[in-house]
Amino acid sequence: MKISIIGAGNIGGTLARLLVKAGHDVALANSRGPVTLKHFTDELGNKLMPVDVEEVIAYSDTIILAIPWRNIDKLPVFKVSGKIIIDTTNPYREDGTIYDLQRNISSVKVEEHFPGGKVIKAFNTIWYKHLAENGNKNLPLEERRVIPLAGDDMEAKAKVAKIIEEIGFGPLDTGILSEGSKLQGVDGVLYARELSVKEAVAVVGNLK
């Protein structure tokens, strides 16, 4: 499967390594240009292709957005009809404080920059070192470290859930984007918690 990643920092770079290891072809872009990503090709070989942002959008129908939320407005608006946009971002300022979104969800900004895309919130609840180290494909799904995901398109969520499984984690569908992403957000019950899928199901169930 071809997968695009915008952002080569902690989350984007970690996902690039995990996805290549899982057998995917990955196109990776950052704000400084492909020449600055040579160390990824030195490490991962020809399964990873450094490209610019325009090329990364065209490369695949599954695009991971892994840049700081505060920098999304620096991106052009890309019309991506039908493409899956995996939103890994959280609304932090550079000083670590959180933007006041006035009850909005942070993925609204992502939807505005990728009109026509199927936005799925995922990979925003886990520290990048845990993402690098805690996947375990030998465990049953319910015992794996949970990666929650939220979105409005069931087919898109199924594809993202499969990717999560392929890198050794357990997916948990938290519902539609407007509701599920609140469980996953920085004030949500699933944010930055080291839970198995089974434990996360119990946490969410206790809210009902």
84-143 confidence digits (pLDDT tens): 999 999 999 999 999 988 878 999 999 999 999 999 999 999 999 999 999 999 999 999
> Which contiguous run of DSSP H or E holds residue 171?
strand 170-173
Asked whether 196 and 144 are in contact (CB, 8 A), the reply is yes
User: If DSSP codes are grouped into helix, strand and coil, which group holds residue 166?
Assistant: helix
Regions in the chain scoring below 50 on pLDDT:
none
Q: What is the pLDDT of residue 102?
A: 80
Using CA atoms of 128, 130, 132, 135 in order, give the dihedral in degrees to the nearest 10.
-140
Q: What is the pLDDT of residue 103?
A: 78
Q: What is the pLDDT of residue 208?
A: 65
Residue 108 has phi, psi (to 5 degrees) of: -60, -40
Which residues on neighbouring strands pair with residue 62, listed in sequence order? Answer: 84
The residue with tokens 């909005």 is: 104
Q: What is the pLDDT of residue 135?
A: 98
Token couple for 1: 């499967």
In this prediction the pTM is: 0.97
The DSSP 8-state label assigned to residue 36 in this structure reads G
